[in-house]
Amino acid sequence: MRIHPEGKPFIIYSFLTLVLINIVFSLGIPFFLFFPFVIISLVLFVFIIQFFRNPERLVNTDHNAIICPADGKVVVIEEVEETEYFKDRRIQVSIFMSPLNVHINRVPVTGKTRYVKYHPGKYLVAWHPKASTENEMATTVIEDETGRPVLIRQIAGAMARRIITYLQEGNPVQKGQELGFIRFGSRVDVLLPLDAKIAVKLNQKVKGNKDIIAHW
């Protein structure tokens, strides 16, 4: 299993903390009482490792396809008023990422980064209707090679406390490359033109780089 670089310091810190806690709890406690605590610690450590996994996936190279930027479950497909960048009506597709999903966010189209902005905010549960406007978030707009823009909004959830965006304005990008990372449960909104043909359904489970979210 490949581990994402974002996870390595966190995994080392968690390992040392769990070892220290187990040593302290083991002092003066019979083994049959201590053994369940060891099992719980191992399960927790495995959970932390799998959260930062970085699977290799082939990228769909169809220029007409907008690929899914995140693993998770489609929780919203609706027409909304986008007020930050486009300031017009767009189709919003929202993907909820549970702690069990891969949390790397991917670039959905090949092109150029036109806009990147971080917004501090609240930590409402990621599926809350106001999460798209009130939570901590980062907005990235990418134009494909023909100038068609896609907005990707990384939104923190109740457990997430750090949104990372790797892109800067003006960066050329390739479909499927890493856009960013969010820790421990979050949401990604994708804002598309009204004439985009949505290729996913509500409650569908999707995978970043692998599934197509829409076609131009």
φ/ψ of 68, rounded to 5, equals: -70, 130
CA angle 164/206/110 to nearest 5° reads 60
* Residue 39 neighbours by CB under 8 Å, 6+ apart: none
Among residues 41, 94, 132, 186, the one annotated as catalytic is 186
Q: Alpha-carbon distance 170 to 17, whole Å?
A: 41
Active site residue 98: no
- 134, containing H or E segment: helix 131-134
186: its two tokens: 């979050």
On whether the CB atoms of residues 78 and 190 are closer than 8 A, the answer is: no
- Nearest one of 87, 92, 102 to 209, comparing CA atoms: 102
Instruction: Determine the residue type at 213.
Output: I
DSSP 5-27: GGGHHHHHHHHHHHHHHHHHHHT
Query: Could you give the residue numbers annotated as active site?
Result: 186
